[in-house]
Amino acid sequence: MKIGVLALQGAVAEHIRMLELAGASEARTVKKVDDLHDLDGLVIPGGESTTISKLMHKYGFMEEIRKFGLEQRPIFGTCAGAILLAKRINGQDDAHLQLMDIKVERNAYGRQKDSFEIKLPIAGVASDFPAVFIRAPYIMEISDRGQVLAKHEEKIVAAREGHYLAAAFHPELTEDYRFHKYFLEMVKEYRS
Ligand code: GLN
């Protein structure tokens, strides 16, 4: 199983480490569009979604990652990565990749809670997952095809829709690789 991590900005090395711990046979950085062609799955890390989006346009990733998703190859977006996957962003006319049928609200948590960690139950993953939120978004709307995996204070913070997986928090910033393992199971499912 070959998994790539989009390496334009954000916690790239941390995702690679977690994918390796979770059992990926190969996890590597994706710095140019050619790096996508033999991958079974892709992780889009957190960072700042408008910055990542600009870099994606600049290096030709927008169309290529869209194709990647439309070919049913799994994509896991964390924090800014989830915003990039979304079809709709609250208060913005245009979204980015527009692959996953969710609407997100950016920077959804108040100032005193800009950054925090909390244990959350995540369906199919863990009953006590350490979720690190950093200026995190949340998912306001999800389609009938989507599945809510986790909520925090009534807000959806993790979801899956077929081969798309989105988390509002940063699963790569802890020692817990169970969420990455869940993604690898998804990749396996779509590869066969
Ligand atoms: N606030 C960022 C954005 O809107 C996301 C934060 C993150 O990825 N930690 O892009």
Select from 9, 43, 49, 105 the residue to mutate for testing ligand 1; criterion: most ligand atoms less than 8 Å from CB: 49
Tell me the ipTM for this assembly.
Answer: 0.94
Select from 12, 15, 79 the residue to mutate for testing ligand 1; criterion: most ligand atoms less than 8 Å from CB: 79
- The stretches of 71-177 forming alpha helices (DSSP H) are 80-85
Q: What is the pLDDT of residue 110?
A: 72
- Give residues with Cβ within 8 angstroms of 158, minimum separation 6: 120, 122, 148, 149, 150, 165, 166, 167, 168, 169
Domains, the chain, ranges and CATH? Answer: 2-191 (3.40.50.880)
* Helix %, strand %, coil % of the chain (to 5): 30, 35, 35
Q: What is the pLDDT of residue 192?
A: 73
| Any atom of ligand 1 within 6 Å of the Cβ of 108 | no
User: What is the rounded distance in angstroms from the CA atom of residue 146 to the CA atom of residue 128?
Assistant: 22
Residue 192 Cα to ligand 1 middle (Å): 33
Residues 170-191: pLDDT tens digits? Answer: 999 999 999 999 999 999 999 9
Secondary structure (3-state) at 187? helix
Residue 117: which of 104, 100, 130, 99 has the closest Cα?
A: 130
| pLDDT block averages, 10 residues each, the chain of length 192 | 96 97 97 98 97 98 98 98 98 97 93 85 98 97 98 97 98 97 98 82
- Measured CA to CA in angstroms, residue 179 lies from 17, 25, 37, 58, 150 at distances of 13, 17, 24, 30, 12
**Ligand 1 atom showing the smallest separation from residue 47 Cα:** 8
How many Cβ atoms from other residues are within 10 Å of residue 52's Cβ? 23
